[in-house]
Amino acid sequence: MFPELSGSQLQLRDTAREFADKILIPNADHHDQREEFPRENIDKLAELGFLGLVAPESFGGLEQNYVTLCVVLEELNRGCASTGITVSVHNSLFTGPLLAFGNEEQHERWLPRVTNGEVLGAYAITEPDHGSDAASIETTCRKDGDGYILNGTKAWITNGSEAGLIITFATLESSLGSKGICAFIIESDMPGFSVGKKEKKLGIRASDTVQLLFEDLEVPASNLLGEEGQGFKIAMHTLDGGRIGIASQGVGIAQACLDASLEFAGEREMFGRLLQDNQLVSHRIAEVATEIDAARLLMLRAASLKDAGMPYGMEAAMAKLFASETANRAAHHAIEILGGIGVSHGHKVERLFRDAKITEIYEGTSEIQRLVISRHFRT
């Protein structure tokens, strides 16, 4: 299933493309070098409606599908991966599960604030000792009167210190395994909530990545997302959609690498001819361009299946795996083509090379994606 984009989808993609060209690309290195959250980018994107891409119009959103989200995220990540992941997490990892599992009161309470950019959303499942094994989380929740008490630590949380609302996962009893996990919507002004250390990272350094601490955090029952014991189901459902968002990021980063390679090869001369006329260079460019197209098609297939209400877990894993590895190969080739310039601190290709690596790690490592895919072929 490969959709033909409608007029409104093309308009949104072109708006994102123009925003990337005029705002994101000129400022991406500035934010990266200072490890500075791109607040002005997010505020402008909120004005464009991109923080409410998947939210219903009745709550101020654009009510777009995941194909639209993907083509927008590709353009934003082409310009600045730190901005792109902020928007991706907000839409796919927070708004998505709130829409899918939240009740009417929760929708009315939070969606308007999330959609207009008043608050950012985050998703907290990873812990210092538990990343890929989501069923083994140690953050606890115990019933207390009409609510719950949470204790624990979450790690590597994107948007963590900037978010006003965080979907968080905790276990009622570790012996229950995945059946004991609950999902909660945590409000950042709740007593007992605090932000821990900020991570210093190889890439996406302008993205906010922190630890979150819960110390006897009182959460009312009205903040329980879904039902008790449904948290693992919510987490896995959410990650399937989030992987499509990371596939979009991989495609965007890869496209930025290809653009930089083409620009340099079309201007730089070596031994009396342009680099683009060198067979070795032209073959690298052909390989990258082909892989980007394949990654984009995998991304659109997964998004189309999700939009159609069909199973898409395997396809999302395939898209995430291939797009993230394509981004890293594209960055490697760009470095090879640009040579010393490409590894110079402050050059966009050096930043893209660093940014690409995380796409193979978060929201399920490449190894986890291979496990997910292989399970669909077991007899």
Q: Which pair of structure tokens corresponds to residue 8?
A: 């409104």
Q: Which has the closest alpha carbon to 320: 375, 374, 372, 355?
A: 372
Distances (CA, A) of 289 to 255, 258, 362, 376: 8, 7, 24, 29
Which residues are CB-contacts of 207 (< 8 A; sequence separation ≥ 6)?
A: 37, 81, 82, 85, 86, 158, 159, 201
Cβ atoms of 207 and 355 within 8 Å: the answer is no
* CA nearest neighbour of 76 among 173, 218, 234, 207: 207
Rounded Cα gap, residues 64 and 115, in angstroms: 12
Q: Which positions are annotated as active-site residues?
A: 363
Phi, psi of 376 (to 5 degrees): -75, -10
- Report whether 335 contacts 349 (CB < 8 A): yes
Question: What's the DSSP call for residue 21?
Answer: I
What letter does residue 175 receive in the DSSP assignment? Answer: G
Are the C-beta atoms of residues 279 and 263 closer than 8 Å to each other?
no
Separation CA 252–CA 233 (nearest Å): 29
